[in-house]
Amino acid sequence: MLNDTIVAISTSLGEGAIGIVRLSGKDVLGIAKKIFVPNKGSRKLKSHQMRYGRILSPDKNKVIDLVLINYMKAPKTYTREDILEINVHGGIIPVRRVLDIVLKCGARLADPGEFTKRAFLNGRIDLTQAEAVIDVIRAKTEASLKIAIDQLQGGLKKKVFEIRNLIVKLYAKVELQLDFSEEEIEEYSHEELAKEALSIKIRLEKLLKTFNSGKIYKEGIKVAIIGKPNVGKSSLLNELIGEKRAIVTQFPGTTRDTIEEVINLEGMPLQIIDTAGLRHTKCEIEKEGLKRTKKAIETADLILLMIDSSNVFDEEDKKIISDTKHKKKIWVINKIDLPPQLKVKELEIKNQSPVIKISALKRIGIEDLKKKIRELFLKGDISSKDDILITNFRHYKAIQKAANSIKEVINTIEKKLSLEFTSIDLKEALDSLGVMVGETVSEDILNEIFANYCIGK
Ligand SMILES: Nc1nc2c(ncn2[C@@H]2O[C@H](COP(=O)(O)OP(=O)(O)O)[C@@H](O)[C@H]2O)c(=O)[nH]1
Ligand SMILES: [Mg+2]
């Protein structure tokens, strides 16, 4: 499979200044010679040097485009294979025509992520780095970009290898002990072995804990603003996103559909959904809006439950409270610029969720609300910004599995069971981490990972 030469359009399709057609594999230089003629100088292409010239049609009669090409000889390339990047004019037609010609010369269209897969298979990067590539491309905020770049530079790989080395050392000790067991030589005490296993467990668990923040920085959270009509939900949405996205009127029932916007809350992507107010209605359009509101409640990670403090607390409010009972929420008491009718104290006594008082109209309390949202999801983790975070569920599962095996290791040592068992569990922990970095990963898992990539990456 690695013997063929692959090609793909690496830039997004559409009108742009430049489009890049990229090739990787054994036959790159041969194909370059067939299709490219430099405008000046020797026809011989030197590695890692840009050349200006023409791409010719296969019959050599037509000039397809004027291009810059960069030939890069293996192994100092992205895939560790020969690579050719052809910078063509960024229109759909020139990019496609050049791709066609390369295909006619014997290259094969690359699968999604196949360049990165080759980089992995040829040992240039480990699997965590390969997976970070797509995270870099899809980063929603600067914070998620930083996390992905740290992983791409091998930060996570380094951490995992450190832990793996500790396990290997312990494994060697246990094996040695097993060899000598018949002679009843105690090279290492049980306490010593248990202590080492415990320190490994602590490291694994520390890494596991970063998944909470890591996932939030990468994927963000979904926040739904819920409340009766006219309490100020759309006004809050507009305030949070900093523009007048939703229509605000004094008439109840103005927002009939759900409106979604994404904001960046200090690196945390927040998808905010403004909903139609929850109330009984006979209007068909409003009924459909209500259905969507219910769906928004179910899919949200956090509910901003809005109550109008200038109005009395009524049955409708109570109904909404019971509809959102099962969800994580913040009570948002709005319109505090008006004379109060509502006894906020009573609400505070009744529930465990935080209460924030705001005026969406006068822009009071918005920062407090943002701070509270952050706190609820990232708790004390903000200081761990410089640490390596895990963001990928596959990594989380692998580390968790390794941690469980180490727990068993501790168990067998403490119970003074045969070290045969200890050895098996240590081996399992090593295998889990091996799968994570891609040393012992199956073809199926690889295909699953790279199927999510863009073509040409
Ligand atoms: N006095 C005051 N009026 C507000 C406040 N927030 C919203 N409103 C007004 O309440 C009405 C309904 O607001 P809107 O955002 O459309 O409520 P929604 O139906 O919950 O989306 C509008 O006239 C807003 O100007 C506030 O904090 N104070
Ligand atoms: Mg509204």
Task: Give tens-digit pLDDT for 417-437.
Answer: 999 999 999 999 999 999 999
Tens of pLDDT, residue by residue over 81-105, are 999 999 999 999 999 999 999 999 9
Q: Which atom number of ligand 1 is nearest to the Cα of residue 360?
A: 27
Closest protein CA for atom 19 of ligand 1: 230
Tens of pLDDT, residue by residue over 126-178, are 999 999 999 999 998 998 999 999 999 999 999 999 999 999 999 999 998 88
Closest protein CA for atom 10 of ligand 1: 232
Are residues 237 and 300 located together in one domain of the fold? yes
Quick check: is 410 in a domain?
yes
The pLDDT score that the predictor gives to residue 23 is 98
Quick check: is 39 in a domain?
yes
Say yes or no: CB of residue 235 within 6 Å of ligand 1.
yes
- In this model, does residue 186 exceed pLDDT 70? no
Q: Tell me the CA–centroid distance for residue 353 and ligand 2, in Å.
A: 23
Using the CB atoms, write b or e for 5-22: b if 16+ within 10 Å.
bbbbbbbeeeeeeebbbb
To test the ligand 1 pocket, which listed residue (233, 241, 248, 333) has its Cβ within 8 A of the most ligand atoms? 248
Of 68, 95, 125, the domain-final residue? 125
CATH number at residue 412: 1.20.120.430
Q: Which atom number of ligand 1 is nearest to the Cα of residue 235?
A: 15
Say yes or no: CB of residue 412 within 6 Å of ligand 1.
no
CATH number at residue 105: 3.30.1360.120
CATH number at residue 241: 3.40.50.300
pTM of the model: 0.82
Are residues 231 and 351 located together in one domain of the fold? yes
Cβ(276)–Cβ(253) below 8 Å: yes
- Cα 452–Cα 454–Cα 457 angle in degrees, nearest 5: 115
Are residues 235 and 208 located together in one domain of the fold? no
Are residues 323 and 237 located together in one domain of the fold? yes
Closest protein CA for atom 12 of ligand 1: 230
Q: Tell me the CA–centroid distance for residue 241 and ligand 2, in Å.
A: 15
Are residues 251 and 204 located together in one domain of the fold? no
Of 91, 125, 159, the domain-final residue? 125
Say yes or no: CB of residue 255 within 6 Å of ligand 1.
yes
- In this model, does residue 300 exceed pLDDT 90? yes
The pLDDT score that the predictor gives to residue 453 is 87
Are residues 211 and 163 located together in one domain of the fold? yes
Would strands 49-56 and 36-38 be described as parallel, antiparallel, or unpaired? antiparallel
Quick check: is 69 in a domain?
yes
Are residues 113 and 262 located together in one domain of the fold? no
Are residues 200 and 139 located together in one domain of the fold? yes
Quick check: is 288 in a domain?
yes
What is the CB neighbour count within 10 angstroms for residue 348? 14
The pLDDT score that the predictor gives to residue 383 is 43
Say yes or no: CB of residue 338 within 6 Å of ligand 1.
yes
Which chain residues have CB less than 5 Å from ligand 2, an ion? Answer: 233-234, 255
- In this model, does residue 373 exceed pLDDT 90? yes
- In this model, does residue 249 exceed pLDDT 90? no
Q: Residue for token digits 């036959």?
A: 27
Quick check: is 329 in a domain?
yes
Tens of pLDDT, residue by residue over 37-60, are 999 999 999 999 999 999 999 888
Closest protein CA for atom 6 of ligand 1: 232
To test the ligand 1 pocket, which listed residue (231, 235, 333) has its Cβ within 8 A of the most ligand atoms? 235
Q: Which atom number of ligand 1 is nearest to the Cα of residue 334?
A: 27
Quick check: is 450 in a domain?
no
Q: Tell me the CA–centroid distance for residue 235 and ligand 1, in Å.
A: 6
Between CA 292 and CA 225 the distance in angstroms is: 12
The band of 382, judged by pLDDT with boundaries at 50, 70 and 90, is: very low
Say yes or no: CB of residue 248 within 6 Å of ligand 1.
yes
Quick check: is 107 in a domain?
yes
Q: Tell me the CA–centroid distance for residue 233 and ligand 1, in Å.
A: 7
- Cα 272–Cα 273–Cα 275 angle in degrees, nearest 5: 150
Ligand nearest to the CA of 307: 1
The HSE-up count of residue 436 (CA atoms within 13 Å, CB side) is 28
Arithmetic mean of pLDDT over the chain: 90
Q: Tell me the CA–centroid distance for residue 285 and ligand 1, in Å.
A: 21
Q: Tell me the CA–centroid distance for residue 251 and ligand 2, in Å.
A: 9
- In this model, does residue 20 exceed pLDDT 70? yes
Cβ(270)–Cβ(241) below 8 Å: no
- In this model, does residue 403 exceed pLDDT 50? yes
Q: Which of 41, 117, 87, 53 is nearest to 454 (CA)?
A: 117
Are residues 270 and 419 located together in one domain of the fold? no
Are residues 38 and 143 located together in one domain of the fold? no
Quick check: is 457 in a domain?
no
Cα–Cα distances (Å) from 152 to 67, 158, 370, in that order, read 30, 11, 31
Say yes or no: CB of residue 229 within 6 Å of ligand 1.
yes
Are residues 147 and 290 located together in one domain of the fold? no
- In this model, does residue 347 exceed pLDDT 70? no
Structural domain for 34, as ranges: 6-125
The pLDDT score that the predictor gives to residue 102 is 97
Are residues 194 and 252 located together in one domain of the fold? no
- The count of domains in the chain is 3
Tens of pLDDT, residue by residue over 206-215, are 999 999 999 9
Of 360, 380, 400, the domain-final residue? 380
Q: Which of 239, 230, 369, 238 is nearest to 304 (CA)?
A: 369
The HSE-up count of residue 160 (CA atoms within 13 Å, CB side) is 29
